Amino acid sequence: MEKVFSIADVTREMGPSANGFRERWASYILELQQSICTGLEAKDGISRFTDEQWARSGTDSKAEGGGRTRIISGGSIFEKGGVNTSIVHGKVTDPMRVQLGMDGDRWFAAGISLVLHPKNPFVPTSHANWRYFELYDEKGKVIRNWFGGGADLTPYYLFEEDARHFHGCFKNAMAPFGSTLYPAYKAWCDRYFNNAHRGFEMRGIGGVFYDHLVPGEMSKQHPVSFTLEEAFAFQRAVGNQFMAAYLPIIERRADEPYTDQNTYWQQIRRGRYVEFNLIHDRGTLFGLKTNGRTESILMSLPPQVRFDYNYQPAEGSPEAALLDVCRHPRDWA
């Protein structure tokens, strides 16, 4: 049952949070969604984002809450894209305990997730996501909370200048929080966006990725221990960097003329994007297997895709150069 959604619904459903943080985080991602959509619309100049606000009642196996699904398609720049928020909560179910190792009684998750598939094969696809989780005991007390996020770039043709710019932006955004963060989260991104069923083959040239960033904890994967406030500031710094990282690349490439052969290769690589998202991506599979909102989750899939048997680019071609960098990630910043 879908109805118009607002943060007030979540507060009414869950009660206000003890420290006010759930509400602050939810406000941040909704603001970020708004500003990204506004900026991308201005860049596209033709298409506008739809604005679908949804909410639903929970059941034992289905989360409660809502979100805003904002989709763009058929634009001058963007063939298809989505910038979605969702703010959901529910009971920790047995499958979550077994498959995800989650404990506690109830959970809360709120995030923004975006994927942009440009039409021109010289403009890369980009994806980003920032999220926050809380787990509660039976009295509603937070027993664990963590952040995750990242942004990555999937070019169809390699422009080293673009790769350096994209990585450099996130390196700069992270630097004030500790110089060890960018290298750790860059390496994590290289490991994560890997089509392992094709040996080591990344879906693009990476960016940054991190998960289970728990305030007050440090580990090999998380080289800096943040307070809750520091972690929030870090999330904002990285999230607010997205447009600065992506827009200049669009500007540089959007008017590049292209051939049917360029589009053919774009569609082959989009096939790899589909493979990654449906076979490996934890967020997608978690959403689909926990009765998430299927159309919002699958907005990430590229609009037009090809699957050829054993397609191999010609040796020495620009297509082969792209494939090489997906198989052998480089340091860009």
Q: Catalog residues that contact its own copies under the rule CB under 8 A.
A: 71, 73, 80, 82, 197-198, 267, 271, 274-275, 278-279, 285, 288-289, 294-295, 298-299, 301-310
Contact predicate 26/7, CB 8 Å? yes
63 neighbors 42 (Cβ within 8 angstroms): no
Based on CB atoms, which residue is closest to its own copies, 214 or 305? Answer: 305
User: What is the closest distance, in whole angstroms, from the C-beta atom of residue 39 to its own copies in the complex?
Assistant: 20
Query: At its nearest, how many Å lie between its own copies and the CB of residue 136?
Result: 27
CA dist 282 and 83 (Å) reads: 18
We find the least distance from the C-beta atom of residue 9 to its own copies, in angstroms, to be 22
Task: For residue 162, give every residue at least 6 positions away whose Cβ sits within 8 Å of its Cβ, in sequence order, or none.
Answer: 124, 153, 155, 249, 252, 253
Q: Which residues contact 147 (CB under 8 A, 6 or more apart)?
A: 130, 131, 132, 133, 210, 213, 231, 232, 234, 235
Residue 150 vs residues 99, 114, 295, 328, 329: alpha-carbon distances, Å = 23, 11, 22, 20, 17
Residue 84's beta-bridge partner residues? 69, 113
127 classed as catalytic:
yes
Contact indicator for 91, 105 with CB cutoff of 8 Å: yes
Distance CA 150, CA 126 (A): 11
Residue among 127, 165, 167, 222 flagged as catalytic: 127
Q: At closest approach, how far in Å is the CB of 194 from its own copies?
A: 13
Give which of 21, 62, 85 is closest to 297, Cα–Cα: 85
Task: Output the smallest distance, CB 181 to its own copies, in A.
Answer: 32
**Cβ-based nearer residue to its own copies, 221 or 307:** 307
With beta carbons less than 8 A apart as the criterion, state whether 119 and 78 touch. Answer: yes
CB-wise, 142 or 274, nearer to its own copies?
Answer: 274
Q: Hey, which residues are catalytic here?
A: 127
